[in-house]
């Protein structure tokens, strides 16, 4: 029945991603549920319903822990954490504490995977979060890690912008 339901919607499955996620979740198919929760969260984010998206990313992240430890699982977790942290940041100014731990997890995962672009994004975002919490010394230390990475790999314009904002906050 599950595969018939997926097949029935084919390329339109994204339209009912939350229904499919719940269906696979209740049916015990964690991998499929994660896929559809993530898809539903991404679509929900596009509607600026960030708290709802956060709940969907959280559920996917919880289910992800049931999967065996593999590099693919690490990459999936990194992706879920990226979506989750952005949803937290966009949904509440008082939620600045939550992304710190998530960015630290993202840094560890990106290092383990050797994913330079995601590592630089996580470092820049962590530095900015710490600076907004007035943890300037920690923010500066993370900025130095980003400088080391910059010597080996060019940074994206988005990462440079986030890093610049963090450095301005530290300097002020």
What mean pLDDT do residues 16-45 have?
Answer: 91
Per residue, the 3-state secondary structure of 72-91, as one string, reads: HHHHHHHHHHHHHHHHHHHH
Q: What is the four-CA torsion angle of 170, 133, 105, 18, rounded to 10 degrees? A: -120
Q: What is the pLDDT of residue 84?
A: 83
pLDDT number for residue 111: 94
Q: pLDDT-derived band of residue 127, with 50, 70 and 90 as boundaries?
A: very high
Average pLDDT over residues 22-50: 90
- Quote the percentage of the chain above a pLDDT of 90: 49
pTM of the shown model:
0.69
Q: Tens digits of per-residue pLDDT, 66-120?
A: 999 999 999 999 888 888 877 777 766 545 555 788 889 999 999 999 999 999 9
> Cβ distance 131 to 166 under 8 Å?
yes
């Amino acid at each position: 029945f599950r595969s018939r339901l997926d097949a029935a919607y084919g390329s339109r499955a994204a339209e009912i991603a939350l229904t499919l996620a719940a269906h696979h979740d209740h049916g015990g198919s964690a991998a499929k549920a994660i896929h559809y929760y993530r898809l539903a969260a991404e679509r929900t984010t596009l509607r600026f319903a960030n708290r709802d998206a956060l709940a969907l990313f959280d559920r996917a992240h919880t289910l992800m822990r049931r999967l065996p430890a593999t590099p693919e699982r690490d990459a999936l977790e990194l992706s879920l954490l990226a979506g989750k942290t952005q949803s937290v940041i966009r949904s509440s100014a008082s939620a600045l504490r939550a992304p710190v731990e998530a960015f630290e997890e993202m840094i560890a995962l990106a290092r383990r995977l050797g994913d330079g672009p995601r590592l630089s994004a996580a470092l820049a975002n962590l530095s900015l979060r710490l600076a907004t919490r007035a943890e300037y010394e920690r923010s500066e230390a993370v900025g130095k890690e980003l400088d080391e990475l910059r010597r080996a790999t060019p940074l994206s314009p988005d990462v440079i912008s986030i890093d610049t904002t963090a450095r301005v906050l530290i300097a002020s």
